[in-house]
Amino acid sequence: MRIGFIGLGGMGSGMAANLLKAGHEVRVWNRSREAVERLLAQGAVPLDEPHQAFAADVTISMLADDVATRAVLLDSGALAAAQPGAIHLSMATLSAAFVGELVEHHRQAGVDYIAAPVFGRTDMAAAGKLNIVVAGPPAAIAKVQPLLDAMGQKTWPLGEEPVRANVVKIAGNFMLASAIEAMGEASALVQGYGVEAGDMLEILTNTLFAAPAYKGYGAMIAERRFEPAAFKLTLGLKDVGLALSAGQARNVPLPFASVLRDNLLEAVAQGEGDLDWAALGGRAMKRAGQA
């Protein structure tokens, strides 16, 4: 299948590489040329402008946020240049409000819009082990399923309304941030009584909370291992903000999301924005004077 791929950050690069390994023709565009160059040796074809990515069977975008997506897809005229009947597979974490706007823009352009945000960090993207939540036109999803299979270990369908996939992604990241904050506060509590955070987290992540997210982030918190960042703390702040906005739009209170937002904002204000968002757990220990 001929694929246009827009956005080669830490996640997008691994995803595009797996599409190449699966035998697809992948044409890539990225603001930074360095990321493009790394994929050329694997068989990718470089593009000069984002609109060229829509001259393909399927266009995939993996951009950082609403602002980047608007600039690259809408303001540049890329979507307007797409041929009617094209398919756009949007795999970024975007706000519920902006997804609604994108759906309308795609409807006017005659382009099928599929939302397919992913759960997983950069190592899982490189290994093709992402979990992908997907929503959009059923026929279009069926056509892109081989691509989803190449990039992920499982696809989780959520119906025809694209916003459903994005709100599940937002909810998932809210839950992850909550887990990181809880582990950080629990670590500060036990250290206040002379128990090492690593000892407590080893017990609890192998008993009550024996799940990949708790194990992975628990180890990072215990070891204060926040660099290099696979998911920057600033992105966590953005995603918790998306949860608050989505909740407000439907009159759904999210009181703990407000706490998380303020704690993440504190971390950014203290110069920790480029650290992995596991550093949110380290904030609790710093507030307790344990740094």
Tell me the domains of the chain and their CATH numbers: 2-160 (3.40.50.720), 167-287 (1.10.1040.10)
CA atoms of 38 and 173, how far apart (whole Å): 29
- C-beta of residue 224 within 8 angstroms of C-beta of residue 276: no
Q: Residue 133: its pLDDT value, please?
A: 98
Percentage with pLDDT > 70 across the chain: 100
Would residue 238 show up in a list of annotated catalytic residues for this protein? no
Partners of 115 in beta bridges: 90, 135
Mean pLDDT of 217-225: 97
For the stretch 132-176, pLDDT in tens is: 999 999 999 999 999 999 999 999 999 999 999 999 999 999 999
Percentage with pLDDT > 90 across the chain: 99
- C-beta of residue 237 within 8 angstroms of C-beta of residue 268: yes
For the stretch 228-280, pLDDT in tens is: 999 999 999 999 999 999 999 999 999 999 999 999 999 999 999 999 999 99
The secondary structure of 156-175, three-state, reads EECCCCHHHHHHHHHHHHHH
Supply the mean pLDDT for the chain: 97
230: three-class secondary structure by DSSP? coil
For the stretch 189-201, pLDDT in tens is: 999 999 999 999 9
Mean pLDDT of 10-30: 97
pLDDT level of residue 291 (50, 70, 90 thresholds): confident
Query: What are the strands, taking DSSP E only, across 40-111?
Result: 45-46, 58-61, 87-90
pLDDT level of residue 106 (50, 70, 90 thresholds): very high
Run of H or E including 38:
helix 33-40
- C-beta of residue 177 within 8 angstroms of C-beta of residue 260: yes
Selecting among 21, 129, 143, 169, the annotated active-site residue is 169
pTM, full prediction: 0.95
CA atoms of 238 and 264, how far apart (whole Å): 9
Mean pLDDT of 41-65: 96
Q: Is the pLDDT of residue 93 over 80?
A: yes
CA atoms of 65 and 52, how far apart (whole Å): 21
Q: Is the pLDDT of residue 34 over 80?
A: yes
pLDDT level of residue 205 (50, 70, 90 thresholds): very high
Q: Both tokens of residue 16? A: 């595009």
Run of H or E including 225:
none
- C-beta of residue 58 within 8 angstroms of C-beta of residue 4: yes
